[in-house]
Structure formats: structure tokens, C-alpha cells
Structure 1
Amino acid sequence: MICPYIINVSVLVGGILSWGLMWPLIENRKGDWYPASLPSNSMSGLQAYKVFIAIALILGDGLYNFLKVLSQTILGLSHQLLTKKLSSELPVADHSSPKSSQLSYDDKRRSQLFLKDQIPTWFAIGGYVAIAAISIGTLPNIFHQLKWYYILVIYIFAPTLAFCNAYGCGLTDWSLAPTYGKLAIFTIGAWAGASHGGVLAGLAACGVMMNIVSTASDLMQDFKTGYLTLASPRAMFVSQLIGTAMGCVIAPSVFWLFYNAFDDIGNPGSEYAAPYAIVYRNMAIIGVDGFSSLPKNCLLLCYVFFGAAILINLIRDRVDKKWGRYIPLPMAMAIPFYIGPYFAIDMCVGSLILFIWEKINKSKADAFGPAVASGLICGDGIWTLPASILTLAGVKPPICMKFLSRGSNAKVDKFLTSQG
């Protein structure tokens, strides 16, 4: 109910394309394209097609949007430099301009308050250097494959990428932090090599890069909110520090709770499958080992879907918006390729409810739709905490409910009949 219709439809299209057409057809080639004796979750069999074709879609979509945002960022900066108004976006005392004189009283008040409590440059640079030093000193002790000079290189290049991401996110409302993380996976993983733990080094480097780059865009969004609400930048920064300190305690505690409560956490097909873990791990494997381990025609299909993702995005941007909004999004289509199509039905049912609600009373649907969706999300999410506690306490549910296909149900009935 929160996601746009096109997102939910894209997920449904991806589920139909993958699980309805592609995977059954590829499975029919078992024994030709890959050994028939391999289990279903082997990365040398059908699972490889599921994971790497999804990765190809994600990388194609990410590359296109990266270049798109980067070009818009460069054009925006070039325009500001050419017009020599880079320093006059926010009006200050004794520095009037034609643009600032046209600002309303509220905007002038916001700008004055925002600039009065701005964070000193020396503090920002010093804090970044201090955090880099802490990371260089501690992370190699946690991830031994991630050498200190890998982290140093990341922290040297990260500010440029973080600026591009923050500026681009402001222009397009699209953060490309995962794309920069994938860049770190391939570069650091290839640099370390397979013999020196390149897979783990690449994944750890991805985490470092994503945290730096995503924080830049998140902070800019928060500061923009503070600017609009007349909040002090320093007060907001202190609040961010407090929240980060709390997260350093709460996040590991929640992870420990889940890790001890659920034995199958992170396993494919489980309730908490962590599907992106499989994707990023296999990206790291490709970065280190290359494509030689992939089954037959897997790389060819990856090329096809990589190009298709770029082509679909290009068509969306080139055609009229009236028709472009009906073209599916490759990133959303890629999700059910490896997760499965089950949640696409849930999302489309939510969209159907919202669509009917809008037809009956659009104003109420617009006003209360997000609140209803948020309540459903919060209720479902909050229940995981008592469920984890009950699991740790050894409490077993009194009943078990499961929905099976007709074929599976017939097998279960036959088995139960034979038992008794």
C-alpha cells in the first residue's frame, strides 16, 4: 500500500518471468547445461542462474542510474560554476543577490538560522580523520582479510563518492550507495585475490563503503528537514550521534537475539532468508574467481539481462511520461528472481485494496493509506520480538498451518495413509 503500483507490478512481472517461465525451462535442460545430480541449492546448478541473472539485472539497473545521476550531478555543478552562484544559494547577512532578495521571509529566516549554527569545517575534517584512524586500527582485527591499507584507500576515495551520492540523491531522490558498495566488492576483492581471502575482504570493504556513502545522503536529507523545520544543525548532529551510539548497542543485541532464536536464519527458503547475503557473496566470488565456475549459458543470460536492464531504463526515460510509467522497473523485477514470487501476491493485494479505496474515497485513501500500511508493517515487525523470546524460552506453538499445492497435498495424503 506504500509502494507505487509500478513497483508491485514489476515484482509480479519478475516473479512470473522467472518462476513461471525461465526456471522451469532451464530445469528441463538439466543434464545438458548442468549436471543432473546437483542439489537444487548448488551454485553450479539451477541456483546459479537464479542468483547471477538477478545480479545482472541489479548491476545493469544500478550502472544506468549511476551514470544518469553522475551526469546530472556534473551538469548541475557545471551550471553553478559557470553562473558563479555556488556560494549564494543561501542568503547571508550583508550579501544580497537578486535571487536572495526574492526569497520569502520564512526562507530568509530558515537560511539565517541554518547558517548561524553550522558545523565548523575543521570539526568535520577532524572527525572524519579520527573515524578513519579508528576503522584502520580496529577493522583488520575483526576481519583479518581486510588489510589496513584497503581501508585507507576506501577512506581516501569515499568523500568524492559520498559527495556525488549526496548531490545526486538531492537531484533525483535516488541513493546509489549499494552501487558504490558493489564497486568496493569488485575492486578490493580482486586486489586481495582468492588466496588472501578476497571474498571476505570485498564484502567487508562493501560494508565500509556503503556506510560512508549512504550516511552522506542520509545526513543531507536530515539537514534539509532541519532547514525546513527551523532546527539547529548542531542539535541535529548531536541527535545523530546519540542515535548512532544507541544503534551500536541495539543492533548487535537484536542480531544476537535473532541468531540464537532461529536456527535457519540466513538459509535460503527460511522465514529470514537474508536474500541479499547470497547476492553480495556471489558478487564477491565473481570478483575474485571470475566467471569460469558458472554453468553453461549462465554468463550469456547474464549479458542478455544486463543489457535488457539498461535498455528498459533507457526506454523509460526516452518515451513520454504518460507511457513510461507503465514500463516495469528492472531493479524491482530482479527481487523475485532469487527470493521467490510469494510476496508479490501480498504486495499486489495491498495495491488492489488501495486502488479500490481510492475509487471509493480518494481523499481518505491518500490521507490514511500510508497510516494503515505502516500499522500493518509495524505489527508484523514488532511480533518478531516476542516470537524470538518465545522461541528462546522453548515454547512450541499448539498448532501448525501450512498451504500446499494440489500435487504436494496428494503426496502428503498418500504418505499419511501408508503410515496408518
Structure 2
Amino acid sequence: MENRDDSIEDNTIYESETPSGLNDLQVSEKNKKLEEEEDKEEEELSVERIFEHKKLPTWQEQLTVRAFVVAFFLSVPFSFIVMKLILTVGIIPALNVSAGLLGFFFVKTWTKFLEKTGWLKQPFTRQENTVIQTCVVASYGITFSAKRFNVMLLGGFGNYIFGMSDAVAKQTPNYDSPLDVKNPQIGWMIGYLFLVSFVGLFSVVPLRKIMIIDYKLTYPSGTATAHLINSFHTPKGAKLARTQVNTLGTFFTFSFLWGFFQWFFTGGNGCGFGNFPTFGLEAYANTFYFDFSVIYVGVGMICPHIVNVSVLVGGIISWGILWPLIGMKKGEWYPANLSSTSINGLQGYRVFITLAMVLGDGLYNFAKVMSRMLINLSQEIRDKRNGILPVADSDSSASLLPSYDDERRTKLFLRDQIPTWFALGGYIILAIISIITLPFIFPPLKWYYILVIYIFAPIIAFCNAYGCGLTDWNQIKTYGTLAIFIISAWAGSSHGGGVLAGLAAGGVLMNPVSTASELLQDFKTGYLTLASPRAMFVSQVIGTAMGCVIGPCVFWVFYKAFGDLGLPGSQYSAPYAMVFRSMAILGVEGISALPQHCLQFCLAFFVASILVNAIRDTVGKKWANYIPIPMAMAIPFYIGSYFTIDMFLGGLILLVWQKVNKAKADLYGPAVASGLICGDGIWTLPSSMLALARVTPPICMKFLSSSTNVRVDAFLASA
């Protein structure tokens, strides 16, 4: 009311200076009018007052056939997109905006058509939009899992599953025995994902009220998605969504046609625009070049600027300085006759130093999130004992009163309860089935390893979900790494096959823990859009089931279409497959697996990763934006620097756009980036089909030095 009093006082003074003046009745009427205007402004700020005139569908009505049809058809292309990204550079941006925009566009188009024909039985609601969003993200989320920027696969196709394969095992000769190798097959991959992906959905259901209502965790990704969906279903938001979809479609078409055009020039190894020596042949040899791949330009436009700078700095440190220096020690630190893919040579330094940086960053952030979680949790307990609401503001007693939005959302969120006995019973039954059947798929993975994992999984799921609700950081890679180390050492020391057991155990832990966090993100989205928790749970289950089938099938297309999958330097090098396999080898063999002097380098980069993170947190947010992120820096250490140029260019384009017109850049930047990513990613589908059909591009465009070109011309002349 402080602003209201100021307004009244200002008006009174102003009006007393007018020649005519105002009597008390007129002043009273003016004040009343001001109060009504302020009340109206307050109502406009209330999201639920905008929708209160609309009928709220039941949880069964929110689960429509059209929603799941649209979700399925969106899940397939999105799975191709993220599969291409994870098998090339391992970085996946958040595609929720794309999924939300396209889901809204397709269903809105469908319902418009039915409305004109008179066949529309049920209007398109924000609750149904939430179901589509949840189902799509759950489906292609089996292919990957991310917060901020992603370097992981939930389904394991780019790390622990492909890390079991013979293609990756051949790069580690000591661990290519049958006990430590399992090549991908559609059958066992689908069965494995069905066994491990649903358990986590049941582990956190009893915690939904505590996390969202009692502790009021923000779950930033879930909250952002809810705001996006709510805005779509207002007149202004729907109009903006249509223009964003048009923008996405324009750049999607450009990106797809550009990928199609480039294909004609790739008729051989090292051919095409992707091998253009932008900065010269010497820089090209050290992976510094722009490869004309708009998909990474789009990734750079979505990722924060500091991420783009971090990967570029990491590429300069590794491929510009470190690897050339270590390469000069060939024959001294490691045998000179080793192949370029051998982990006992230069490749070993790349893998293990990358692993050290990933572990340092992961463990630091794990400790930070855990400490923050414990502090917040203890504060919540103290507040409850003192009868203080978790969101209470000691400076304002009015903040203790729940808003209209909070009251309505809480009431509806608690209405459709999911019974605790159902959640606990489902978890126990699915865990028992997994314990019995998984050893048949992975013989070295004994039943008691799985039992131990499932005993601790709910505790880890709670920690991860709580930390994710506070910071939006999914720390699943840290938990997975610990599981791989522990189970590899346990299995390797007694039964053999420790590498395979460790990799499989990492998936057994990571899948349920990560799906649990994603489900709570969806519950938060549903809470803010008035979607029923039951509808959220069912759509998550259906989306997960879709992903368990779509993900392996999409990976199988890549596996069969591209024969060099997993080889260093190839288009689809699957960088984290070797990193995860190296984790398991380290668990079995210890530091004896490291090349000469590699341990010292690993310790130095491990400590440096922790120190850089600590400095970032110490100097404050303003200066932290100028300090690189170790996790992002680690990515090019193994796979090269070519994509860092693309990402940096994407970030630079967005930065210039923001300087010229920040409002338009913020509104349409994600749509442009999504179009670039989706178009190039979807081109992978027809290019895979052409590769499977053994159709070879007609032209090979290759770049040679002038001296090499002279020798080639002489050879051709004499032939």
C-alpha cells in the first residue's frame, strides 16, 4: 500500500494547485478509482485469474489420444537430433522450447481444422500441452539427460552402452576379452532400458508434496517450461508462438537444405565442407577449423556465452599447446609404433586428462550442491518446528499469506493423489524383476550388485532431485561415475568382467535416479499449469516407454549406417564412450592403467578443475562470467576443437543480435537456434538411409597443400 499512498498524496498536492480545486467527494472518488486500477493490475499479474473462466479438464481428459500421437511423431526426430549431437561432440542444449513450440503448433493446427469441420469434441488446453511436453521430453530424454549444457546420455548410447562395444574395446587391448565386451543389439538394449528406466518413477512419487508444496523448490527448468506453456494459451502468447514457429520453420528449412547440399561433396574420407581448412592446413591438422556445420552454430546460440568461450579456451589449451608438447615425447614417454587410437599412447593422455577434469568438476559441484541441500534442509526443519512457512519473509507479514495462484494450484495439486502404497509397491516389484533378469543380459553383473544399487538408489534420487530443485543441476554423472568405479573394482577383483559389470551398473543407477529428477521437474510444471499429477505420471510413463523403443532403434540406424562409429577422428566418434570405458578400466586396474607421467597431468588438471570452480564461486556472479567452466573446457580435450569454432560463432551472432535488438534476440533467438539444430539433425535421417542403401555422394571435395597437389598431378599424369 506504500505506492498507493504516494500516488494519492501526489494527486492531492497537484490538484490543490489547480485553480478549480477538488472537493472531498471528488478526491474520495479519485482515490477509489486508483484503488480499483491497482486491484485490476494485481489481477492481471495473477496467471490463474486469466484462466479461471475456463473449465478444468479431469486428469483422464488431459490424457488425449491426439496428445500422444503428436508426442510420438515429435519424439522420433528429436531422438535423431540428440543422437547425432551426443555421438559427435557430446553437448546437447535444452530443446524444451522447440518441443513446446512444435507441440503447440501441431495440436493447435489439428484442433483448428477439426473446429472448422465441426468434429472438435475437446478444446486444446494448457494441461494437454503439458502432457505433450512431458511425454516428448521423457521420450527423447531416454536418449540424453541434461541441465545447463549436457555431456551425458541417460540411455547410454553415447557412453556406457556403446563403451561396452567391440569398436571401443579394441582401443583398449587389455580389455577386449568376451567378458568385457557386449556389442549393441536392438533386443537387449530395449529390454535393458525397460528394466531400468521405470524404477525411478516410483521412487520419488511420495516426495512430491514435500518437494513442491512444503519446501517450495523452484525446479528452474520445470518452472520455465510452465511459464512457456501458460503464455502459449493466452491470446498474446499464441500470436507470439505462431511467429516463433514461423521463424523456427524458416531456419529449419535452410539448415536441412544446407545439409543436403553439403552431402554431394562428401564422396570419400576427409571430403566435403566439414573438412575445410579455414585457418590453414597446420591449424586443420590440430582440429582448428570451421566445419560449416550449422547444428553447432545453433548449439552455440542456445548455450550461455561462457560455455562457448570455455570450450574454445579448452580447445586452445589442449590441441594448441598440450597435445603438441606431449606428442614431441613419442618414443620416450610412450612407444612410437602405437596406433593413433591406442589408449597406451597419446590417446591415453587425452582420455584420462579429460576424465580427471570431468571428475574434478563433478565432485566439486556435487559437494557444493550437497552442502547447499543440507543447509536448506536443516533450515526447513527448523522453520517447521517454529511454525514458519518455508517461504516466509521476516520483513513482511503479508508474504505469509498464500496468493490466489498458490491456493488454487495447491488445492488441485493435492486433489489427484497417487497412493503411497502404489509407488512403494511398484518400486519393489520392478527392482525385484531387474535383480532377477539383468544378470542374464550382463553375466558379470551379479544380482547382489544390483540389490545394493537399488537399496541406495532412493536416497541418491532424493539428493539429486532436491539439488536439482535448488540449482537445476543434475549431478547424475557424479553418482554414475562412483557406481562404475565401485562395481568395476568389486567385480574385477573377484569374478572378472569388471569393465562390463561397472558400465552396466552405472546405467542401473543413473537411469532411475535421473528419471526421478525429471519426474519432479514435470510435477513442478504440472503444478504451475494445473495439470494433474496423475496425468503427469502417466504421460511420463508412456513417454519413457516410447523412448525405450525409439532410442535403441535410432541408435541402431547410426550403428549400421556409419561403419566408423566410435573411432577417434571420425564424424561420429562417440567421445564419452571411451571416457566411460576408461573409468571402468581405472576402477579395475587402478593407476597402473595410465601412460607414463599421465598421473601427474591428471592430478594437476583435477586440482585445477576444483580450484577454477572455487574461484568462480568466490569472486561473485559478475566476475564469474569471465572465468571458464572446467566441465565445458574438458569436452574438446578428447574430441578436438573444430566444433568450438562453430559454437563460438553461434554465441557471437547472438551477442551481436542482443546488442542491436535485445528484445527480438531474446524472443526469436531460441527459435532460430532450434531451427538450425533441428534441420541439420533431421537431415541425419535421410543421410543414414542413403548410407544404409550404399548410395555414395558423386563428388569428393578435398583440400591439399600445393606441394602435395603437385605430386598428385604428377602421379595422375603418369598413370
How high is the TM-score relative to the length of structure 1?
Answer: 0.94
Deviation at residue 417 of structure 1 after TM alignment: 2.6
Change (3 A) 1:111 1:363: same
CA contact (8 A) 1:90 1:100 kept: no
C-alpha displacement of 1:100: 8.6
Hey, what does 1:135 align to over in structure 2? 434
- Alpha-carbon separation, structure 1, partners of 2:633 and 2:451: 36
Q: Is the 8 A contact 1:80 1:86 kept in 2?
A: no
The residue aligned with 1:171 is: 470
CA distances 1:98-130 after superposition (whole Å, capped 9, x unpaired): 899511111110011111113211111111111
2:310 partner letter = S
- The equivalent of 1:411 in structure 2 is 708
2:384 alignment partner, one of 84, 100, 110: 84
| Between 7-16 and 261-270, the greater mean CA deviation after superposition | 261-270
Tell me the equivalent position of 2:650. Answer: 350
CA change 1:58–1:312 in 2 (3 A) is: same
Aligned residues of 2:308 and 2:647 also touching (Cα < 8 A) = yes
Code of the residue aligned with 2:329 in structure 1: it is R
The 1-side partners of 2:326 and 2:606 are apart by: 18
Q: Deviations over 1:355-401 (max 9, x none)?
A: 11112111111110010000111111111111111111222112233
Measured in 2, the distance between the counterparts of 1:86 and 1:157 equals: 32
Amino acid at match of 2:419: P
For the 8 Å contact 1:53–1:302, the answer to whether it is kept is yes
Q: Are 2:521 and 1:226 aligned? A: no
Q: What is the DSSP-based 3-state SS (H/G/I as helix, E as strand, rest coil) of the residue aligned with 1:332?
A: helix
2:608 match? 308
2:315 corresponds to: 15
* Contact map agreement 2:354 2:634 (CA 8 A) in 1: yes
**1:263 aligned to 2:549?**
no
Q: Which residue of the partner structure matches residue 161 of structure 1? A: 460
Give the 5 Å matches for 1:8-407: 8-84=308-384, 102-193=401-492, 195-403=495-703, 406=705
Q: Letter of the 2:463 partner, please give it.
A: C
Structure 1 residue 89: Cα displacement: 6.2
Report the residue type matching 1:112 in the other structure.
K
Cα pair distance change 1:259/1:88, threshold 3 Å: farther
- Code of the residue aligned with 1:331 in structure 2: it is M
Per-residue CA deviations over 1:23-73 (Å, capped at 9, x if unaligned) read: 000011112111122222211110111010010000000000000000011
Kindly indicate whether the alpha-carbon contact (under 8 Å) linking 2:585 and 2:593 is maintained by their aligned counterparts in 1: no
Number of positions where the alignment pairs a residue of Structure 1 with one of Structure 2: 411
Distance of aligned partners of 1:297 and 1:11 in 2 relative to their CA distance in 1, 3 Å threshold: same
Deviation at 1:402, TM superposition (A): 3.9
Q: Secondary structure at the match of 1:122?
A: helix
Cα deviation, residue 90, structure 1: 9.4
Which residue identity lines up with residue 422 of structure 2 in the other structure? F
Distance in structure 1 (CA, Å) of the matches to 2:616 and 2:425: 44
Q: Residues 66 and 384 from structure 1, CA distance in 2 versus in 1: closer, same or farther, beyond 3 angstroms?
A: same
2: CA distance, partners of 1:327 / 1:125: 45
Q: Report the CA distance between 1:87 and its aligned residue.
A: 10
- Cα RMSD (Å) of the superposition? 1.9
**Contact 1:162–1:216 (8 Å) recurs in 2:** yes
- Quote how far apart the aligned CAs of 1:419 are: 3.4
Please identify, of 15-24 and 242-251, the stretch whose mean Cα deviation from structure 2 is larger. Answer: 242-251
**Contact 2:314–2:637, Cα closer than 8 Å, also in 1:** yes
Using the alignment, how far apart are the partners of 2:710 and 2:313 within structure 1?
A: 33
Letter paired with 1:317: D
**Where does the alignment leave 5 or more consecutive residues of structure 2 unmatched?**
1-300, 392-396
Return the alpha-carbon distance in structure 2 between the equivalents of residues 138 and 411 of structure 1. 58
Alpha-carbon distance in structure 2 between the residues aligned to 1:86 and 1:76: 15
Alpha-carbon contact 2:383-2:389 (below 8 Å) kept = no
Secondary structure (helix, strand or coil) at the match of 2:343 reads coil
Residue 269 of structure 1: how far off its partner (Å):
1.5
Aligned mates of 2:571, 2:595 — CA distance in 1:
28
Counterpart Cα distance in 2 of 1:164 and 1:410: 61
- Cα shift readout 1:186-216 (whole Å, capped 9, x = no counterpart): 0101110165200000000001111011112
Indicate conservation of the 8 Å contact 1:50/1:338, yes or no.
yes
Q: CA deviation at 1:307?
A: 0.2
Code of the aligned partner of 2:586: I
Tell me how far apart the structure 1 counterparts of residues 654 and 354 of structure 2 sit (CA, whole Å).
29
Percent identity of equivalent pairs: 67
Q: Is the 8 A contact 1:10 1:329 kept in 2?
A: yes
Of 128-137 and 409-418, deviating more is 409-418
Q: Scaled by the length of structure 2, what TM-score is found?
A: 0.56
Give distance in 2, aligned partners of 1:134 and 1:335.
37
Counterparts in 2 of 1:87 and 1:413: CA distance versus 1, 3 Å: farther
CA distance change for structure 1 residues 45 and 412 in 2, over 3 Å: closer, same or farther?
Answer: farther
Contact 1:44 1:295 in 2 (8 A): yes
CA distance in 1 between partners of 2:413 and 2:703 (Å): 56
Moved more, 37-46 or 279-288: 37-46
Shift, 1:311, TM fit: 0.2
C-alpha distance in structure 2 between counterparts of 1:394 and 1:185, whole Å = 38
Tell me: CA distance 1:403–1:346, structure 2 relative to 1, closer, same or farther (3 Å). Answer: farther
In structure 1, the gaps of 5 or more residues are 92-97
Aligned 8 A contact 1:90 1:111 in 2: no
- Partner of 1:399, secondary structure, is coil
Give the CA deviation at 1:85.
Answer: 6.1
Give me the whole-angstrom Cα distance separating, in 2, the residues matched to 1:100 and 1:323. Answer: 33
Distance 1:403 1:379, change over 3 A: farther
Q: Contact 1:6–1:329 (CA<8 Å) still a contact in 2?
A: yes
